[in-house]
Amino acid sequence: MVAAALLGGGLGAAATGGDEQPPTSDGAALAAYASSSSSSSASSGSSVSNTSAATARPPAQSGLPAPVRRDAQPTALRSRITPTDVTIDSIGLRSTVRPVGVDRSGLMEIPQDVQVAGWYRHGSAPGEGGGATVLAAHVDSAAAGTGPWAKLADVPVGSEVRVSTAEGTVRYRISSVSQLRKNGLDTTALFSSSGPERLHLVTCGGRFDRATGHYDQNVVAIAVRVR
């Protein structure tokens, strides 16, 4: 099942498999990309707006709704190429990257440090030749204030993204940026291991609801491999 919320949201459903809810138009746009070739324009999701953050806000407390974990596969086979950092010069974003898995609630773990992004190690890895590599990070925290991922919503299409690994640098180019409703996130497409090699960068965005302590939207940037 899809919890359909993201960083800073209250995710209550574990990823236990079964049929997902039908995606909204935003989710469908992400799903369509997962099985198609790269696009050079912004995706059909709702328009991107700047993500603002106040230092008084509480830290996000949950991660991405993840697909069923692939624990049956040997860890060594899922860790062939481990990303160590990600850089997007056009928005001044640079983050350390560390491998993460799924917590006891069935959610993708997200590092609490806003300077650190999580790489979903049960999915695709940079340079593997296919599928979506997923990197996600918190946009801000009460302790650290606004993090570098707050700029993701403003990344220009065409920007270069560099992901460093022990084997070298893998380069991508931003093909689309969407700001999606929480119930519009299609996690099957987000974590897809099929289709062209691509990078999915995810953080929270939209309006911060002080009553709930969560953001109401998700920012998803898709980048295609540059060879």
Position 8 scores a pLDDT of 36
Domains of the chain: 25-226 (2.40.260.10)
Residues 6+ apart with CB under 8 A from 75: none
Residue 46: the pLDDT is 33
Range list of H helices, 3-154: 25-34
- pLDDT means per 10 residues, the chain with 227 residues, are 34 29 38 39 35 38 56 48 97 98 89 96 95 96 92 98 97 97 86 96 91 87 97
pLDDT score recorded for residue 127? 94
Q: Which of 226, 135, 137, 133 is nearest to 174 (CA)?
A: 226
Confidence at residue 56, expressed as pLDDT on a 0 to 100 scale: 36
Task: Quote the strand ranges of 22-150, DSSP E.
Answer: 83-88, 93-100, 116-120, 132-136, 140-141, 145-146
- Yes or no: say if 96 and 117 are a contact pair by the CB < 8 Å rule: yes
- Between CA 15 and CA 2 the distance in angstroms is 7
- What is the model's pTM? 0.74
Q: Are 36 and 195 in contact (CB under 8 A)?
A: yes
Q: What is the pLDDT of residue 73?
A: 47
- Which regions of 16-103 does DSSP assign to beta strands (E)? 83-88, 93-100
**CB within 8 A of 178, min separation 6: which ones?**
26, 29, 30, 42, 43, 44, 45, 46, 48, 219, 220, 221
**What is the pLDDT at residue 148?**
97
